[in-house]
Structure 1
């Protein structure tokens, strides 16, 4: 709701950038803590995380520009990620590429690293959605309401609250919208705590990664019906994000079966 957090000597500090940075730092320290508990080399995890971050940001920005070319007015706009403008699926693909490079280079146990990574990703992503709320990106479809004052307002209709953005945000100003950013923030928090709970009793390495893929795929598929930034593909009536979400969910189920079978085979 507040795109600019504050301004110092004419330099604008954007809320989106601050919150995304907070999410990354929290994920960083959480990943190191979890990795240390697993007895992994912390330095190797740090370097792998750096690779994931670099690849994640670059690919996430590229996919955002491909999805929203109308927002790029100059070369400077290509690099202005602090104002908002990263896609999660692009970041996830880039992050996976970085993690694969790191695990191969440092010979880390890939599924154990994958399990730890998704816990960190869930909390970082949730805080990042608060950044989206501040910038107005990833906004929802119009919500039927009369109050057009900027802010968060309660309603008697699902999801029982809506948002109105001011001038200067990416979202259309003074228009009641579904609070898709905040809905995803809450959903990701739930996923984060579910992953933490199962981390203490997971049946095999890779289980948390597969569970995350299933839960987030289901969450994103549902939220896409309320998001207003990605038009559906005709004639199927689904967005490309929903197609990816379906692929994530189905892949997670297959992965669970494969990893469980491999675990039984190793025991045998």
Structure 2
């Protein structure tokens, strides 16, 4: 068994103001994604994006945060928040859903792209291949907070989390950081140029990177959920799957369907 490092989630206190590692991880993830998107836009010669780059980034961040919070409210604890609606905006008390954030970011990107006369599918290709960077840092933040820990386990690297009972558990946050973050980033980054290739490749239309992300993340997260402790208020649902697994199955179906639709639409 390994010892949980028990890092203070607050890395800097300035009077009543507390700066937390989790928030810092979000900032690092957003900044890294913006830099990589700008690099791709220059490489692929898409100068039109530069005029709307800052506003697009802001809209995506707002959409992601709002979607993540509303996703948690709707998917994971609707009964509680129906009874306590004033607590819905209280993001500082915890409760963010990746799946909700993904929906919010896609809808925000679609709205902003159409408003500014940009091709949404090209925007999606540039941004989505950088999303795993944010996932990598976000899961590290979860690990530092000691939240979203894994199921009880006897593996040699199991840890006792402060809020996870005295039993050793999978450090599932680290599994997700490496797989949904680092591994998925390497895979998507290695494929990023295919939709931009000339002559165009029939199986790699614009939008295929979004499809790969949806299906790839869904597949990785589905299997990693077997090491993650289900949400206490939900437990395991139909067929013994967690809520995260059911949402991942929808992501996989959406990714496969999107790829098929984009191939047909660009023929």
- TM-score tier after normalising by the smaller chain length: 0.7 to 0.9
Inter-partner Cα distance in structure 1 for 2:230 and 2:39: 37
Q: Which residue of 1 aligns with 2:198?
A: none
Please state if 1:193 is matched with 2:186.
yes
Distance 1:37 1:46, change over 3 A: farther
Inter-partner Cα distance in structure 2 for 1:80 and 1:241: 20
Q: Give the one of 41, 62, 67 matched to 2:70.
A: 62
Inter-partner Cα distance in structure 2 for 1:21 and 1:75: 27
How many residues are aligned here?
A: 243
Q: Give the one of 244, 261, 264 matched to 1:261.
A: 264
**SS of aligned partner of 1:27:** helix
TM-score, normalised relative to structure 1: 0.81
Please state if 1:53 is matched with 2:61.
yes
Inter-partner Cα distance in structure 2 for 1:254 and 1:63: 22
TM-score, normalised relative to structure 2: 0.81
CA shift at 1:6, angstroms? 3.3
Inter-partner Cα distance in structure 2 for 1:172 and 1:75: 28
**SS of aligned partner of 2:194:** coil
Contact 1:16 1:84 in 2 (8 A): no
Inter-partner Cα distance in structure 1 for 2:176 and 2:158: 13
Inter-partner Cα distance in structure 1 for 2:103 and 2:111: 13
CA shift at 1:140, angstroms? 1.2
Contact 1:138 1:180 in 2 (8 A): yes
Deviations 1:41-72 (A, max 9, x none): 223132122112112112212333453559xx
Distance 1:58 1:258, change over 3 A: closer
Distance 1:14 1:229, change over 3 A: farther
Distance 1:262 1:186, change over 3 A: same
Distance 1:163 1:56, change over 3 A: same
Q: Give ranges in structure 1 of 5+ residues lacking alignment.
A: 146-154, 156-160
Contact 2:188 2:209 in 1 (8 A): yes
Q: Give ranges in structure 2 of 5+ residues lacking alignment.
A: 1-5, 196-203
Contact 1:139 1:229 in 2 (8 A): no
Inter-partner Cα distance in structure 2 for 1:128 and 1:26: 13
Deviations 1:176-195 (A, max 9, x none): 21111110110021110111
RMSD: 2.5
